[in-house]
Structure 1
Amino acid sequence: MTNPFGIVSSEAILEGTATDAYFERTRTTLEHAGKNPRVVAEVTADQFPTGSFEVFTGIEDVATLFEGRDVDVDALPDGQLFDGGPVLRIEGPYLEFAKLETALLGFLSQPSGFATAALEARLAAPDATVLSFGARHVHPAITATVERAALLAGLDGFSHVAAGEILGREAGGTMPHALMFCFGEGNQDEAWQAFDEAVPDETPRIALADTFWDEKSESLLAAETLGEELDGVRIDTTGSRRGDFRHIIREVRWELDARGREDVDIFCSGGLGPENIRELRDVADGFGVGSHITEADSVDFSLDIVAIGEESDGSSSDGTQSGNRYEPISKRGKLSGVKEVYRTADGGHHVALADRDGPENGEALLEPLVRDGEIVREFDLEAASERCLADADAVGFGTR
């Protein structure tokens, strides 16, 4: 068996067979009719601004998808926030990219949803450590996509080892409840001691402190057992047993402090979202966020032809890169014509026709990605993360 997990191969994606069947029918029909017009197509979620911003990412995979094809592509920078209008624009013969639409939208929709949710978690506790714990909720093949989106949104780390190898980052994490079970109730101290003796010095000593007894008792036992070696305790109590979770964390903090252990951090995990994090950020030092990120709705991008034309000797004035003339076209409910999107100094997001003046002092956001099949942009995760956080501040993400 050459594909034991049923994963669609990278070869299929690049060849265009990772597509919806009706694009195959379209290709067959247009080739039969001898038609292959030059078009301009745009990827959008909302036609007009709605006041609700989302994070744009997945663009590096899109660049790889279009490399070597007879197209020009413009797109928002990786990590940019958007609110309506195009995030990506393609110009070229339609059949050059028709079969790629399904993969293109997938490369953008789900990662952008992950990143938007991760940004919500990040901004819920700007001064705390926030880690991505969501890899167990998705297919293993896309764990690097989840963890990259989390890093782009400013999270401090993640848990998945193989994803870390792809991203060039080291995964983090300490111990599960299963480790505690293997030592048994009453032997929690032995589990923590064995962990301390076994793992590398650079691994934080974070003791899981809610397995058999109440959180306060196990936290104090961990502090007694590991002494100054203990960096923190993790409280992962399930929702069915928490009661007043904030009170539990405050109690643990109080009892540790009462014994002179203000240096021991408290890390919370287990089904947490932004609302929980905001409630706990003044009493806890860090958070693990999983399902809030991985259960995020994908951004509902669609690709639509907005202008159509043929080769011309005339110069273009419609915002496209080549010397082709195009006529605006669209389906019902979509806006025809080549468009540009702008950011203004007040954090506003604006959509306008590309051949018209944009808003005063507005910054055009679409940038070259591919020219004549050549990737013309470099990708840097650190820069994308800085852009994401700065733009979130500029547009007031989560406050409008």
Structure 2
Amino acid sequence: MNAADLGLPVAVPSTALFTDQYELTMLQAALRGGTADRRSVFEVFTRRLPEGRRYGVVAGTGRVLDAVENFRFDESQLAFLRERGVVDEATLAWLAEYRFRGDVWGYPEGEVYFPGSPILRVEGSFAECVLLETVILSILNHDSAIAAAASRMSAAAGGRGLIEMGARRTHELAAVAAARAAYVGGFDSTSDLAAGFRYGIPTVGTSAHAFILLHDTERDAFRVQVDALGRGTTLLVDTYDVTQAVRTAVEVAGPDLGAVRIDSGDLLLVAHRVRQQLDELGARDTRIVVTSDLDEYAIASLAAAPVDAYGVGTQLVTGSGHPTASMVYKLVARADSADPAAPLRPVAKRSLGGKASVGGRKWAARRLDADGVAEAEVVGTGEVPAELAGRQLLTRLVDAGRVVAREPLEAARARHITARAGLPLSAVQLSRGEAVLPTEYVTP
């Protein structure tokens, strides 16, 4: 349950200044030049996946829809632009009435993507579409990077619990978005209460080393915690001596102790010793939670350990070494005039250095092999081949300015599990490699 479900107001401030200045200066020039109203198509895609990654994960779509809906300039923002001389009065008057009235299509949240996948398509006048570039990329690049790292960690965990606990390792607002993206990518809960309040993500947490150190003895700390939170709580057992702490924990809470947490040392070795000790003390159902700078590789290395859940912080909220998905927002088609009936013609950047793009308004579909496993990402312009018609990936998100595709976060999370399961098995290998699916372009 989230804030909206509880009937509580959730403040959604204007997103209009979450943009770069050149979006507004381009707008001013286009208004003066008479090209602002030309029908245009922009697409979001990435030219390559981060090094070693086999697939990407679309995350942040729900936040993009909120951002587009709330992209409007209030009086204080217009006054700021006027005072700074960012744009002229005619442009300020246009901005005062701005509402996005175009269409947005995109891969649904939680879906996987590959180089060249048109994961978002924004259509409308040049003026109304160009303003959205920065905020859309800001959200998708951050959230998709976190979700991709979370997905790799989820695959490495093999069904064991995953707790997002990176709030103290990133910006306070980024922490909320990261918890949301991690949930889409396969994490089960978060330590961040703001994320739980805003998005309904399950929240967990008990105590830190400071709580143990506050008390005269470890036994006193455990007793107070159990009295306050019940026998199902998680006791932190590595402040002093782990073996003694486990013994004390079971003596205080009994064999019904919920869990112990290990936050340091050789986690593989310590987990085995703790499991053996718990079993010998009769606490066979007491779970073991491990933390301490984990990433997907560390999680995979603990596959043989008797661990029930992993808590991940720094590596998750920084994308496990890849904090951005390197997505771009490019004009791929536009009309030659402001006439609504004017046909669209493809346009594309042709520069050197690997930054060229493919022009044209695109569709995308995923081709499956005889066993129902994905074998290629097919991207094209023009008519969709009949054999791929039922496999199209883009769905309508915004229709004439109206959001039409909001969904519960659980739907995106479930979709990702299904999408990842439909990829070749090599997709979840942690060894370095290229994208697990090739991207094939089809042109008329």
The superposition leaves residues 232-274 of structure 1 with CA deviations (integer Å, 9 ceiling, x where unpaired) of 110001xxxx2x4311211111222223322221110010111
**1:191 corresponds to which residue?**
221
Match of 1:99 among 121, 125, 131: 131
Is contact 2:367-2:376 (8 Å) kept? yes
**2:282 corresponds to which residue?**
260
Return closer, same or farther for 1:178/1:307 CA change in 2, 3 Å cut-off: same
**2:176 corresponds to which residue?**
144
Is contact 1:17-1:99 (8 Å) kept? no
Do residues 287 (structure 1) and 287 (structure 2) align?
Answer: no
Cα RMSD after superposing both structures: 2.3
> How far 1:324 moved relative to its partner?
4.7
Mapping for residues 1-400 of structure 1, pairs under 5 Å? 11-13=13-15, 16-36=16-36, 37-46=38-47, 52-67=54-69, 68-84=99-115, 85-184=117-216, 187-199=217-229, 201=230, 204-213=232-241, 215-237=242-264, 242=265, 244-282=266-304, 283-296=306-319, 297-310=323-336, 324-332=342-350, 333-345=356-368, 346-358=373-385, 360-361=387-388, 363-396=391-424, 397-399=427-429, 400=436
Return closer, same or farther for 1:111/1:359 CA change in 2, 3 Å cut-off: farther
CA distance in 2: counterparts of 1:265 and 1:11, whole angstroms: 42
Is contact 1:174-1:204 (8 Å) kept? no
CA distance in 2: counterparts of 1:370 and 1:150, whole angstroms: 25
CA distance in 2: counterparts of 1:387 and 1:250, whole angstroms: 35
Is contact 2:35-2:337 (8 Å) kept? no
SS in 1 for 2:132: helix
The superposition leaves residues 120-150 of structure 1 with CA deviations (integer Å, 9 ceiling, x where unpaired) of 1111112211111111111112322111112
CA distance in 1: counterparts of 2:21 and 2:254, whole angstroms: 63
> How far 1:104 moved relative to its partner?
1.0
Return closer, same or farther for 1:93/1:308 CA change in 2, 3 Å cut-off: same
CA distance in 1: counterparts of 2:396 and 2:414, whole angstroms: 20
Runs of 4+ in structure 1 deviating by more than 4 angstroms, as ranges, are 9-12, 47-51, 310-313
CA distance in 2: counterparts of 1:18 and 1:288, whole angstroms: 32
Is contact 2:101-2:402 (8 Å) kept? no
> How far 1:39 moved relative to its partner?
1.0
Matched letter for residue 226 of structure 1: A
Matched letter for residue 287 of structure 1: Y
**TM-score scaled to structure 2, two decimals?**
0.79
**1:319 corresponds to which residue?**
none
> How far 1:285 moved relative to its partner?
1.1
Matched letter for residue 347 of structure 1: A
> How far 1:337 moved relative to its partner?
1.1
Return closer, same or farther for 1:359/1:235 CA change in 2, 3 Å cut-off: farther
SS in 1 for 2:260: strand
Return closer, same or farther for 1:217/1:47 CA change in 2, 3 Å cut-off: closer
SS in 2 for 1:228: coil
Matched letter for residue 348 of structure 2: S
Return closer, same or farther for 1:17/1:209 CA change in 2, 3 Å cut-off: same
**1:5 corresponds to which residue?**
none
SS in 1 for 2:175: helix
**2:91 corresponds to which residue?**
none
Q: Percent identity?
A: 27
SS in 2 for 1:210: coil
Matched letter for residue 45 of structure 2: T
> How far 1:95 moved relative to its partner?
0.5
Q: How many residues are paired up?
A: 372
Return closer, same or farther for 1:227/1:106 CA change in 2, 3 Å cut-off: same
SS in 1 for 2:250: helix
> How far 1:339 moved relative to its partner?
1.3
* Structure 2, unaligned runs of 5 or more: 1-10, 70-98, 351-355, 430-435, 437-444
CA distance in 2: counterparts of 1:280 and 1:338, whole angstroms: 46
Is contact 2:367-2:378 (8 Å) kept? no
CA distance in 2: counterparts of 1:135 and 1:176, whole angstroms: 15
SS in 2 for 1:62: helix
Is contact 1:47-1:335 (8 Å) kept? no
* Structure 1, unaligned runs of 5 or more: 1-8, 314-321
The superposition leaves residues 65-109 of structure 1 with CA deviations (integer Å, 9 ceiling, x where unpaired) of 333522111001111001122101111111012122111111111
CA distance in 2: counterparts of 1:326 and 1:161, whole angstroms: 47
Is contact 1:350-1:359 (8 Å) kept? no
Return closer, same or farther for 1:372/1:293 CA change in 2, 3 Å cut-off: same
